[in-house]
Structure 1
Amino acid sequence: MNTYAKVIVPGSPISKSNFKLHNKDGRAILPYNTGKAHDKYALYEEEIAYYARSQNPTIIFEESLIAILKVYYKSEKRHPDTANITKSIFDGIEKSGLIVNDAQIRRIVVEEFYDKENPRFELELFAESKYSLSYSLVENSEENDKILYSSLKKSAKAPIKKNEEKVKYSNNICSICNKTVDISSCVKADGGKTIICRTCFTKLF
């Protein structure tokens, strides 16, 4: 019985938490064949599934697991929240058949790194029947350089004033059919950047 597997997926990791669409039954969906930018989230899951299965062709985990995830971003300043990355990754791993259900991951350690030339993630899975996880927190003998995040807030866009907001939404274009739509009768996603009319939204199913 296999008790260890490793998956390496090249490219900048993607979080799908910023793009959420729901069908008429309220179930979350992830379109992949609209020809629009948001297809990348579903395609990324497929890419993860491909690498996971090709790198571990004979392994299927059915027991509880420990996961060590190392995420390597291209940039220190512009990347998704690492806390949200795990959902996209484990959905792809489950889709590969390497695991039965992502609920099997009972313990997980996530580490964030930067590699401009080779962004990727590396995931190691350990069966709990053979491995256990222990960790300790120690004080540094010398203080490391601080990684500050406060500067990121300064570069954020200023709030939109009411009159500016009217202009912004006065000419709404459906991301799929490119037709002007009434803002009150369309579906917005990706923080309002993606707009889909009701007709195109229905065709997604």
Structure 2
Amino acid sequence: MKIGLYFGTFNPIHVGHLIIANHIVEHSDLDEIWMVVTPHNPFKKKSSLLENHHRFELVYRATESYPKIKPSNIEFNLPQPNYTVHTLLHISEKYPEKEFSLIMGEDNLNSFHKWKNYETILEHHHIYVYPRIAEGTVAHRFKNHAKIHKVDAPIMQISSTMIRKGIQEKKNVKPLFPEAVWQYIDEMNFYKK
């Protein structure tokens, strides 16, 4: 079984994440996509994050009606900050019968050479890249690489940062979420200050 791992802090998860995940699982050779909730991305400040269990709950609610998209908290019990190379090693040992690939935006591919042990990741895993509007071109070393697959997914200009700012400014951001996700955010008064 081929699993695509879509890592993110998902702070919060929104329709853009779901559109990309659903498009990739429906238009590639992947059988499932696991939305891996990252406790701490080494490139992001931790102070702005909701607690892990709340972000996992949001992802759980967002993916409930998508049989090929699953929430994952696999990184919650791993050492922090979370490095993808360590998570991939752990998850491959835990599920030896599954083949894991990475899903990332084109902007992340541009900085992929800065990731810890990126050569090891490429040696053992495929990467599915979705388009982003980003400055810069893909590094030459990654162009036409046998393990990097470009997926013609819709370009999403929705960001969690924009959503959090909208909530603070009392804007109506409800259309950017599945109903169950918005209900939880609203009930819990998340991102209001």
Q: TM-score, normalised by structure 2?
A: 0.32
Q: Which has the higher helix share?
A: 2
Q: Which has the higher strand share?
A: 1
Larger radius of gyration: 1
Q: TM-score, normalised by structure 1?
A: 0.30
